[in-house]
Amino acid sequence: MNKRALITALILPLVIFMALIFYKQAKVSMGEEVILPITGFDPRNILSGHYLVYEIDYGLENESYCSMKGNENAEVYLCLIKKKEKKGGYLSSLDSYYEDSDLYDSGCDAVIKGRCNYGRFIPDSEIGKFYIPEEYAHSLDRAVRRGKGKIVLSVTRGGSAAIKDLLIDDKSWKEYREEKK
């Protein structure tokens, strides 16, 4: 193997890895920040470590569009509108649109792209797990079960969402843990 091929073989994976990190960070920093309440539990997985698996409360009264016959696996967009009376709160509605630009034209502050699955909205983005250090798993799990948890998402204009932080009692989980020590 010549020297140039060896250097390329060593550097190319690093370049790809750095590009992936840049892409993920850009996605988190460029989106609209959305804070939504969660409920969940803490499964333990030997391979994956400790993480909170939760359900996001989108504030939907009902998900009737997804419940209608023929809409199974339909592409849908969740429209989020900031509440005027509550800081950080959002009102949600579920609609089917072919282009997400239609939703922004109709007054949505943020849009999460997803699908209908068994009558429920499931986002396309992986936003249902939050990885946490093992030593904090039990206390954070209890706080989320007591209804104190919220998830901070960054939602891009195209409807993709990424997790920014986990809030407990409206504080970052790291601040919450420091107070509990």
Nearest to 42 by CA among 123, 133, 127, 120: 133
Backbone φ and ψ of 42, nearest 5°: -120, 90
Strand residue runs (E) in the chain:
32-41, 44-45, 49-56, 75-82, 90-95, 110-117, 120-123, 129-131, 149-155, 161-168, 171-172
* CA 28 to each of CA 7, 50, 177, 179: distance values in angstroms, whole numbers, following the listed order: 32, 22, 23, 27
Could you read off the pLDDT of 96-147 as tens digits, one per residue? 554 555 666 677 788 888 888 877 788 888 888 888 887 887 788 888 888 8
Q: What is the model's pTM? A: 0.75
Cα–Cα distance for residue pair 159/82, rounded to 1 Å: 16
Type and span of the H or E element at 67: helix 64-67
pLDDT at position 61 over 70 = no
- pLDDT greater at residue 164 or residue 66: 164
Bridge-based pairing of strands 110-117 and 120-123 is antiparallel
Map out the domains of the chain as residue ranges.
Answer: 31-180
Give CA 119 to chain center in angstroms. 20
Could you read off the pLDDT of 29-57 as tens digits, one per residue? 788 888 888 876 555 555 556 677 788 88
- pLDDT greater at residue 37 or residue 91: 37
Cα–Cα distance for residue pair 95/72, rounded to 1 Å: 13
